[in-house]
Homo-oligomer: A and B are copies of this chain.
């Protein structure tokens, strides 16, 4: 293997695949980045066994020569070291050459790095995914779906399947649900060409968070392939593979109440900020619980107190307030995350009593639903 490449392109590719590389891996070869050079260009692969990211740098792009190949080949180089070396090279011209077995030289300007690589054949193979079973989502919509659901996954491993987001196909509708059993986030979206063979998968929350970091805010389509064990997200430059979580995802539809006793329409941003302030004192006792009470005159009061520090009270005017009066307590953190997912619009909150789960949705549409279980304090 011997080739020259422009450093900024190599760095951009490394930046993507490095997101999959973990220093905590127990598989030594996965501390490396695999480099494959063919006559078409260079493929970089990074993986932590759960997530695998692959990026391709073509020989030529938009008429610009990016790579000049003298000899094709493959090698695995220690990821963190290779990335740091490339970042600090003195010029934009980089030459990479395997001289003997896995001995690799990186040259740039008057710098010469000699690295001991690993045999590329030892690097794990990627799963083979049939490209005919794919559907597409615009990148910005996919990013929204992730942002609106993934925060609600369980962080504890006591029920591993709850650390992922359930993607379920129902006709032309993709239903994405996450829950940690104290709150639930659901996003529905209508899409074409949804798969009919694999109709319910659980994608690890960690994978979706990493994917979200890599995806740019465009409306270019992301191609998605679902199999029973893997999901592949494919953009122009990047292939993102994730292992799926095993186990049956619970049926959450019956958790969502259908009748309500108190219904409030309120500005989401005002409520978010008031709860943020109340949580300053709520946090001190570590339970992070705030109280919410309906008052006269289309007003609600948010309050919390900490016996040692003090208390806080705040009244907010609501857009509308229908049904029974209510005193309820809930986690400030859950409420703030739910409101952030609905994002600044007027929100509708529907309650069925102080000890029953309540739901939040945008006043504009039903696509996003957030459910929160209250905390008993009154």
Contacts and interface: CB of A to CB of B under 8 A. Distances in A.
Contact of A308 (B110, B116, B274, B313): B116
Nearest to A270: B90
Interface in A310-350: 310-316
Interface in A40-70: none
Interface string A289-310: 0000000000000000100111
Contacts of A309: 78, 81, 115-116
A280 interface: yes
A281 B114 CA distance: 10
Contacts of A281: 81, 113
Contacts of A116: 308-310
A119 interface: no
Interface centre among A276, A277, A305, by most chain B C-beta atoms within 10 angstroms, is: A277
A259 interface: no
A52 B255 CA distance: 56
B312 A90 contact: no
A308 to B, nearest CB: 7
For the complex formed by this chain, how many copies does it contain in all? 2
Interface string A94-116: 00000000001000001111111
How extensive is the interface on chain A, given as a class? 20 to 34
B312 A112 contact: yes
Nearest to A85: B280
B112 A314 contact: yes
A236 interface: no
B277 A115 contact: no
B88 A276 contact: yes
A314 B111 contact: yes
A280 B310 contact: no
B310 A277 contact: no
A112 B315 CA distance: 9
Interface of A: 78, 81, 84-85, 88-90, 104, 110-116, 273-274, 276-277, 280-281, 284, 305, 308-316
20 contacts: A78-B309, A81-B280, A81-B281, A88-B276, A88-B277, A90-B274, A90-B277, A104-B310, A111-B277, A111-B312, A111-B314, A112-B312, A112-B313, A112-B314, A113-B281, A114-B305, A114-B312, A115-B309, A115-B310, A116-B310
